[in-house]
Amino acid sequence: MKVKVWRCRICGDPYIGAEAPTHCPFCGAHSEHIILASDWDDPRVASLSDTDRGNLEKALKIEQSNTAYYRCSAGKAEKAGDFEGFATFKALSKVENEHASTILKMLGLPKPDKEHTEECHDAYVDNVKESLKREKNATKFYAESASAATDPRVKEVFAALSTIEADHIQLDEDKLAKLEE
């Protein structure tokens, strides 16, 4: 099978595969944001308004906090021998970390020297419940930030992020339904 190089217009990361992935393996953006690397058009912010900057700064805090929260949750699940829980939280922490990197780039900021850390619950179910709260908050805030955005690139990224976090809500709701069975 012949492979090609694809690239995500949201996080900018490249991917090698025969087909474009349904979701970016790095940031979770949906397939409409994934193009052939040969068609790359270098999407950038044209001008950052105070509103957009403020919302991106808030988004950065959300993403850094969620990355750290999921890293803690993955560690607890691993310790408990829960492989599925570990995989879920590890994947979430990687995706949220990618979002934080994307936002840092848009703000023109360097990577922080110190990694943000956060406490989490011991029990898997409590971490899923907390995740649901965090993802609902992020989805709503990103949808509002997308409608308020003045720069087209900022609007595009916030709209994509809102959709990605909504996928995480679905994941949490499926988990909780399964745990309550």
CB of 181 to Fe ion, least distance (A): 28
CB of 35 to Fe ion, least distance (A): 11
Q: Which of 6, 7, 8, 68 binds Fe ion (CB under 5 A)?
A: 8
Binding region for Fe ion (CB under 5 A) out of 1-9, 49-57, 73-81, 146-154: 1-9
- Token pair belonging to 179: 């745990």
CB-based contact 150:51 (threshold 8 Å): yes
Q: Which of 6, 7, 29, 172 binds Fe ion (CB under 5 A)?
A: 29
Q: Is 26 in the site for Fe ion (CB under 5 A)?
A: yes
Q: Which of 7, 10, 60, 101 binds Fe ion (CB under 5 A)?
A: 10
Binding region for Fe ion (CB under 5 A) out of 24-32, 77-85, 108-116, 140-148: 24-32
Q: What is the strand order of the sheet 34-36 is part of?
A: 14-17, 4-8, 34-36
Binding region for Fe ion (CB under 5 A) out of 21-29, 39-47, 127-135, 145-153: 21-29
State the DSSP string of the chain: ---EEEEETTT--EEEESS--SB-TTT--BGGGEEEGGG------S---HHHHHHHHHHHHHHHHHHHHHHHHHHHHHHTT-HHHHHHHHHHHHHHHHHHHHHHHHHT-PPPSS-------SSHHHHHHHHHHHHHHHHHHHHHHHHH--SHHHHHHHHHHHHHHHHHHHHHHHHHHHHH-
The count of chain residues that interact with Fe ion, using the rule CB under 5 A, is 9
75-134 residues in contact with Fe ion (CB under 5 A) are 96, 99
Q: Is 157 in the site for Fe ion (CB under 5 A)?
A: no
Q: Which is nearer to Fe ion, 76 or 139 (CB)?
A: 139
Chain residues in the site for Fe ion (CB under 5 A)? 8, 10-11, 24, 26-27, 29, 96, 99
